[in-house]
Amino acid sequence: MDVLAQLARAGLGQRTATTLTAPNGDVVVAVEVGPGDVVEVWQTARQVGAHTSTYPVVTCCWSQAGTWEDALRAEDLFSRWSYEQEPLVAGSPEDATPSALIAASRAVDIPQFLERCAAERGEEGLDECVELELELTASRFGEAPSHSFGAEIVAHYGTMLQLIVSRRPDDIDDAWALAYAQQLVAECTTVLPGISLRDHARALMHADRWFLHQRP
């Protein structure tokens, strides 16, 4: 049974849906989702994906063209341009195809990556307290924090990621280290809304959804 039929059987059959063809020939199923039911629809599609070897990701159509399908097709959803603008660092793939990026992500040294992020920010001054927190973060998260807390990507809005978490930090030390790691890789998450690192850490102990933001 194809993915559209599976989604219909799961209760999403009344929604507008279509298919798109990726540059590599893969067929992508698109289903219209309203802003108020993003998580509910994603969870349903995630359950379907377990049987169809697919993974749902919600995105936003910025185009104002005609119908939902017109706006969807007006978006350049498969563009690799943004990824190609990233400066190459040791171990990064020379091509920005999804398969290459996924393969590279599995080999990332998380503590080393956090150190590089801290060093880049250190050009503007990194005080001793933050240096100590970097050591704490690296010691607590030998693997990616997303793996430690069972985080799954729900939505990708260009410069923003929305995730669902199955395991929250157990104590304030883990929460503080996680908050600092998130601020290192997605500084706009706290800086733009004016949220202190302390308040962000406290929120992570009670939230099962993360929202990360980083503008170029």
- Specify whether the CB–CB gap between 190 and 196 falls below 8 A: yes
Q: Are residues 71 and 89 in the same domain?
A: no
Q: Are residues 26 and 46 in the same domain?
A: yes
Domain boundary among 59, 78, 97: 78
Q: Are residues 73 and 134 in the same domain?
A: no
Q: Are residues 144 and 203 in the same domain?
A: yes
Q: Are residues 57 and 87 in the same domain?
A: no
User: Domain tally for the chain?
Assistant: 3
- Specify whether the CB–CB gap between 120 and 104 falls below 8 A: no
Q: Are residues 98 and 138 in the same domain?
A: no
Tokens of 143: 């693997």
How high is the pLDDT of residue 120?
76
How high is the pLDDT of residue 90?
52
- Specify whether the CB–CB gap between 9 and 51 falls below 8 A: no
Its pTM stands at: 0.80
pLDDT in 10s for each residue of the chain, 216 residues: 588 889 999 999 889 999 999 888 888 999 999 888 999 999 999 999 988 889 999 998 888 878 899 988 888 888 887 777 666 555 566 777 878 888 887 887 888 877 888 787 764 434 444 555 555 555 555 555 666 799 999 999 888 999 999 999 988 888 888 898 898 889 999 988 889 988 999 999 999 999 999 887
Q: Are residues 74 and 158 in the same domain?
A: no
Q: Are residues 114 and 134 in the same domain?
A: yes
Give residue 139's identity as a one-letter amino acid code: S
- Specify whether the CB–CB gap between 77 and 20 falls below 8 A: yes
> Which of 48-84 are b and which e, b meaning 16 or more Cβ less than 10 Å from the residue's Cβ?
bbeeeebebebeebeeeeeebbebbbeeeeeeeeeee
DSSP at 58: B
- 30 - beta bridge partners? 18
Q: Are residues 43 and 128 in the same domain?
A: no
Q: Are residues 14 and 93 in the same domain?
A: no
Q: Are residues 91 and 115 in the same domain?
A: no
Q: Are residues 157 and 208 in the same domain?
A: yes
Domain boundary among 68, 92, 108: 108
Domain that includes residue 139, residue range: 110-213
